[in-house]
Amino acid sequence: MLRRARGKATEWILRAALRELPRVPDSERVGLAHHFLEELGGKRLADLLSQVVQELPPKMQHFIGEAIWKSLLAGPEPIYAKRLAKLMASTVETSKLARALCFELYAKMSAGFLVSSLQQGWKRLSQEEQIQLRAELRNTVTLDYPGAEIQIYCDSPIEYQTRSHSASKEPELVDWIENTFLPGDVFYDIGANVGAYSLIAAAKHRNRIHVVAFEPSYPSFSQLAANILLNHFEGIITPLPLALGESTGLSRMVLSNLVPGRAFNYLQNLVGEGFPTEKIRPEDTREQAVLLQTLENAVTAYRLPFPTHAKIDVDGFELPLLRGAQSIFKDPRFREIHLESDRSDSDVLEFLKSLGFSVVRESPRGGTTVNLRLVKKESSGGAGKDEGNALHL
């Protein structure tokens, strides 16, 4: 009976202490936490924390969660965490109770403190533990394509904010992929980035088509290859780390930064001094050697399946690519191009006209950027539904 009364008194003191916690110095909180652990045991303390904290105002909940975490698990001496585990082991399985208490405390923390505490905990791990944990916690997100379940790895903000929303970002391109390809067609995704549109094509048409995805930037190519494997499309999509231009040889590529999913990478010899867009921060740029090929040479040298369709998104460097692909695009087997370009770049449109293409749909993207659907003049009759938006060359 005395033991029960003592427990009840300790619980009452705990409730009072939690309400007074903002006024308790940091140096005393550790001793206070250990006292309650010894008096109540780990399980009872975890249960009471969950019950009592819920009764307090939200701001107080945040403060208490952070203060208890500091006292029990983020103190300067590892003995705190060891002592906590030892006391918990006397009641239930250590790992389960530790997780329950940790999750309870995490729920009461502000986002800023949670990030800070995770960073502190990360530094305590060995390199091997960090590597294992990073692999276990690698994020995937669902691509916003309603036609199929597609997952992509998400290791950067731009992948989460932009690449995972590729379908809603360019609905005309998705419509073109869904409704233009026929069984046996070959789709070249030139400037594939992390592969969103290659994945959509593979998910929609499966083994009825083949996709070749070109991406020379190594951070994005690595993610492209991983995304193909993640979705089990390795039999449909062939990824190639090639830059396409009007010559063949070793070249230098300037990366706008080292983040997967980033755009605005470019061949140094095509720009010279300065930068092609104000969206590039000079301090973030890096260079890498890259294998430059003409599309004509790539198709021949690597015995690639001959393309019938191509999506071209190369951030303003369309003309060198087109010059190195003339025989491909003139070939009657090739039918359509979906091109992101600058409306003011008349040289690109004139060159495509010389290859036998006409624009059957123009979709503004913002500023002077447009998406163009181009078909061979002799096959433009198949694009009748788009004639109202046509800008004929």
Instruction: Confirm if 238 and 212 have CB atoms less than 8 A apart.
Output: yes
Lowest mean pLDDT among 75-79, 267-271, 318-322: 75-79
pLDDT of residue 198 exceeding 90, the answer is yes
Average pLDDT of the chain, as a whole number:
77
Name the token pair of 17: 């202490």
391 pLDDT band, cuts 50/70/90, is very low
pTM exceeds cut of 0.75: no
pLDDT of residue 309: 98
Q: Using CA atoms, how far apart are residues 373 and 358, in angstroms rounded to an integer?
A: 8
Side-chain-facing half-sphere of 367: CA atoms under 13 Å = 5
Residues in CB range of 184: below 8 A, 6 or more apart: 208, 209
Domain ranges of the chain: 2-136, 143-245+295-334
Tell the burial category of 75 from Cβ atoms under 10 Å away from its Cβ (0-12, 13-18, 19+).
middle
Lowest mean pLDDT among 122-136, 159-173, 178-192, 291-305: 122-136
pLDDT of residue 22 exceeding 50, the answer is yes
pLDDT of residue 356 exceeding 90, the answer is yes
Lowest mean pLDDT among 60-64, 257-261, 373-377: 60-64
pLDDT of residue 358 exceeding 90, the answer is yes
Lowest mean pLDDT among 42-51, 164-173, 181-190, 304-313: 42-51
pLDDT of residue 249 exceeding 60, the answer is yes
User: What number of other Cβ atoms are within 10 A of residue 157's Cβ?
Assistant: 10
User: How many angstroms separate the Cα of 370 from the Cα of each of 48, 111, 312, 316, 361?
Assistant: 61, 40, 12, 12, 10
Helices (H), the chain: 2-20, 26-40, 42-54, 58-72, 79-89, 94-107, 111-124, 127-136, 157-161, 166-169, 171-180, 196-205, 218-230, 295-301, 318-323, 326-330, 346-354
pLDDT of residue 225 exceeding 50, the answer is yes
Q: What is the CATH number of domain 143-245+295-334?
A: 3.40.50.150
Lowest mean pLDDT among 46-50, 72-76, 131-135: 72-76
User: How many angstroms separate the Cα of 119 from the Cα of each of 112, 211, 311?
Assistant: 11, 41, 42
pLDDT of residue 67: 57
pLDDT of residue 29 exceeding 50, the answer is yes
Question: Tokens 């491909």 identify what position?
Answer: 328
Q: Using CA atoms, how far apart are residues 144 and 276, in angstroms rounded to an integer?
A: 30
59 pLDDT band, cuts 50/70/90, is low
User: How many angstroms separate the Cα of 111 from the Cα of each of 6, 19, 108, 116?
Assistant: 37, 22, 9, 9
338 pLDDT band, cuts 50/70/90, is very high
